[in-house]
Amino acid sequence: MHSLYSHTKIVLFSLLFSSYMSAFDAANMDQNFEITWGNSHAHMINNNIDQVISLSLDKASGSSFGSKNQYLFGKVDMQLKLVHGNSAGTVTSYYLHSEGLTWDEIDFEFLGNVSGDPYVVHNNIYTQGKGNREQQFYLWFDPTTNFHNYSILWNPQCIIFFVDGIPIREFKNHESTSGISFPSKKPMRVYGSIWDAEDWATKGGLVKTNWTEAPFTASFKNFNANACVWSYAASSCTSNSSSSSVGEWITQGLGAIGEEKMKWVHRNYMIYNYCTDMKRFPNGLPPECTISVTKESKFNTNK
């Protein structure tokens, strides 16, 4: 990892003064991804409009896919349609993950529920193999009837999670001033998965999976990446675009309008914030929670 660290400044310089990667062709999911496990439960579905990856879960297995490329900073988008009906015990995931024992990870996890109850959107951020930075939200729509867009912005300043373009969470980089770990040196792949988490996902594991309703199926489409594609051989980023504009994501933050939108989400739909969970952290909240400018600490919304 020493070479990654030493090349970080070079990577950022090249991003700011070269073109950013163009959006992938959304119809070609098979060109961007490969099945990583549960082969018989994962399918590429082609139609006249787009290409969909369908992942299913039954008593025997779940399934997953991963991107062929690795990225070091960028903005990635994916449209998901979640498991319909009684999805209790299931988790559908869309996330970034690096390699190694001390991995970095940026998570969207969708916790299923019994029919009629809302899904829970679970976010977490791992650095050097350590997470414990969970936030949870309800959605303001039914995520099982149509596809909705979920985005992760990851740049040297911050990580922002978006749902249909609305920011729901920001995690700022305070590593240089406060020593708080931030994922900035390890390239990550994009993954999607569905798996059995009945021991914790629904009401702390009280509600179990009803396997008579299996297979449970989630669908993914329209992957889009404005991102730096990492090459270990060159220890640098590459681009396949000749766009004249610099990628806005490299310096993007919330801005005033984005901050107001996020406050609206937190007031109305946040159901858990690790930064207000004094019972979980009786010896003191994680250090980022005490930094006044960190959005994590502004909303005392545990219910």
Note down the domain range covering 148.
Answer: 2-297
In this predicted structure, what is the pLDDT of residue 295?
44
Answer yes or no: is 189 within a domain: yes
**Number of structural domains in the chain:** 1
pLDDT-flagged residues of the chain (< 70): 1-27, 239-247, 292-303
Answer yes or no: is 109 within a domain: yes
CA distances from 299 to 5, 118, 133, 294 (A): 34, 21, 14, 10
Answer yes or no: is 137 within a domain: yes
Q: Annotated catalytic sites, by residue? A: 105, 109
The pLDDT tens digits for 129-154 are 999 999 999 999 999 999 999 999 99
Answer yes or no: is 118 within a domain: yes
- The vertex-162 CA angle with 217 and 44, nearest 5°, equals 30
In this predicted structure, what is the pLDDT of residue 243?
42
Answer yes or no: is 51 within a domain: yes
Answer yes or no: is 303 within a domain: no
The pLDDT tens digits for 212-231 are 999 999 999 999 999 999 98
Answer yes or no: is 146 within a domain: yes
- What's the CATH code of the domain at 73? 2.60.120.200
Answer yes or no: is 99 within a domain: yes
Separation between Cα atoms, residue 68 and residue 137, nearest integer Å: 30
In this predicted structure, what is the pLDDT of residue 27?
52
